[in-house]
Amino acid sequence: MAREFTRVGVVGLGTMGAGIVEVFARNGVDVVAVEISPDALARGRATLTRSTDRAVARGRLAVADRDALHARVDFQVGLDALHAVDLVVEAVPERLDLKRRIFAELDRICRPDTILATNTSSLGVTDIAVATGRPQQVVGLHFFNPAPVMKLVEVVRTVVTAADVVDDVEALCTRLGKVGVTIDDRAGFIANALLFGYLNQAVSLFEARHVTREDLDAAMTLGCGLPMGPLALLDLIGLDTAYEILNTMYRHGGRNRRHAPAPLIRQMVTAGLLGRKTGRGFYTYDKPGSAQVVPDPATPTAVDDAPGTTAVTRVGVVGSGTTAADLAAVFAAAGHQVVAVGADGPAGTAGAVRTALDEGVTRDDPDPSGRDAALARITWADALEQLADVDLVLEATAGEPDTTRTLFARLDEVCKPGVVLATTTSTLPVIELAMATRRPADVLGLHFCTPVRARTLVEVVTTVRTSPEATATARAVCAALGRTTLVCDDRAGFVVDALLFPYLNDAVQMLAAGYAGVDDIDHAMTLGCGYPTGPFALLDAIGLDVALAVQRALYRESREPGLAPAPLLHHLVTAGHLGRAAGRGFREHTGR
């Protein structure tokens, strides 16, 4: 039988500690909430009160339950108040010296059978446990912010943590309504090791002026469906906290350069630009602690002298896959005349477009006549010469580099002057396609995030030869489709894929190292970070062959060791385990 915890202690009542207190008290556990001073204790009590009052206002907690919750909490100054608890959870700032001092004191004060747990998100649990005379009773209990909402708890065992201690805290997680994922003691654990590598790389993209802060955050919320953009999330976490977590993971996690803090983070911390807590970080806020973003000198403004655009009424789509069919359907549904040139011939292309329309491209107009009208605006073609009169061409062939370059050379011959030639590639350098033509100023990338029908973001990828007029035309066309655009330079992965696929690759590396399983890693990111899909579920949906191709392109351009494709990904692709479409990837799929 698992041990019954009736009275627990929480040390440190900041946002995280107060949230942990609320989790225990909500679930009928008496809590001794401890701070270092009366003022700090009052702030912790106020944090708990605000959280529970919000829950009442939103109908998530009854008034009587709120009052009962508060009655279970005993606020105290000093660690001596914890002498009779069954479990202590430490939630103080991420400083190893501070945590060691606290654990040494807890070891002296608490009963011999009391379990000592740390909520550290980056420090080694083993490094903390050695400050006690009972390292076998020390464990990591890493809750996620906001603790009352997020379902995941990482249960971190050291090489000496007793098996019954792990069993007892796993049972406690279940009692608290949490999903416990048990892992070994390693820098960053699961979620932070994956999350902060991605956040760090996002800062590097911004620091290199590859993309604006607003476009960077829109890329990941609109392009990937993440709950918050990376720069906004860093402001919420606190740049000082992020710096400490990254620095700890870099020093204690094998010196992976993806965790070496970007120089801009250190500079902003030194300057006191810590995010929401100080009122300024990557964004500027109404006041310290506020979530309301206010304009600042970096906020984009309307430009009156924007370059002229070319009217686009007829659109050519070249390709026969899902993306080509979706694009033909989207443009036709928006009122454009579309010439669809498919490698499978008109019949195959038409069938795919009809399927796209039936699956919801015209969901705002469910009347079948809307679908039929959209189909009537499409001309099915089997020769590029039929693109002679279009105003915009979208290439969506997913062909080999030489084949795609040849295609653009043919489009240059066929299309009239001034036509924007766009590629939807996510792996080929746009400049190589542009230089296959005699009109590189008219060539750019239009990367529609997939699935095209669900994602509203389009990356407008400009080369060093792309004209402002072509860029303006592309943005205007996408705006008319109701899409949000971001403009970025021509580099591997652009913005979305440059951030998404290294994160996915990191997850594969973690799996291959035997640190955690497929389900645990997916749970860590969905339940701990609020991601809509775990990395392995997403890889199976995208296709492992696609992921490998993108990751290879990223590595070829940078030669950064941390971006080298995971060998396991290559092995699965070689074995034909390509994901959902093939029936097997990281998981088995039936009824596809």
Helix (H, G, I), strand (E, B) or coil at 579: strand
What is the reported pTM? 0.88
Burial class (CB in 10 A: 0-12, 13-18, 19+), 456: middle
E strand or H helix at 101: helix 96-109
Is 154 labeled as catalytic in the residue annotation?
Answer: yes
**Backbone dihedral angles phi then psi of residue 221, each to the nearest 5 degrees:** -80, -45
Burial 125-163 (b: 16+ CB within 10 A, else e): bbbbbebbebbbbbbbbbbbeebbebbbbbbbbbeebbe
Is 142 labeled as catalytic in the residue annotation?
Answer: yes
- pLDDT the model gives residue 374: 85
- pLDDT the model gives residue 26: 96
Q: For the residues of 13-73, what is the DSSP string, one character each?
A: -SHHHHHHHHHHHHTT-EEEEEESSHHHHHHHHHHHHHHHHHHHHTTSS-HHHHHHHHHTE
The pair of three-digit structure tokens given for residue 343, joined into one six-digit string:
């490698």
Residue tagged active-site, from 122, 192, 320, 426: 192
Q: Which residues of the chain, if any, have pLDDT below 50? A: 361-362
- pLDDT the model gives residue 362: 46
Residue tagged active-site, from 51, 119, 121, 320: 121
Question: In 291-400, which residue ranges form alpha helices assigned H by DSSP?
Answer: 322-333, 345-356, 368-376
Helix (H, G, I), strand (E, B) or coil at 240: helix
- pLDDT the model gives residue 427: 82
Residue tagged active-site, from 51, 119, 122, 142: 142
Contact of 379 with 337, CB cutoff 8 Å: yes
- pLDDT the model gives residue 560: 87
- pLDDT the model gives residue 344: 53
Residue tagged active-site, from 22, 35, 90, 154: 154
- pLDDT the model gives residue 353: 76
Q: How far apart are CA 171 and CA 178, in angstroms?
A: 10
- pLDDT the model gives residue 350: 67
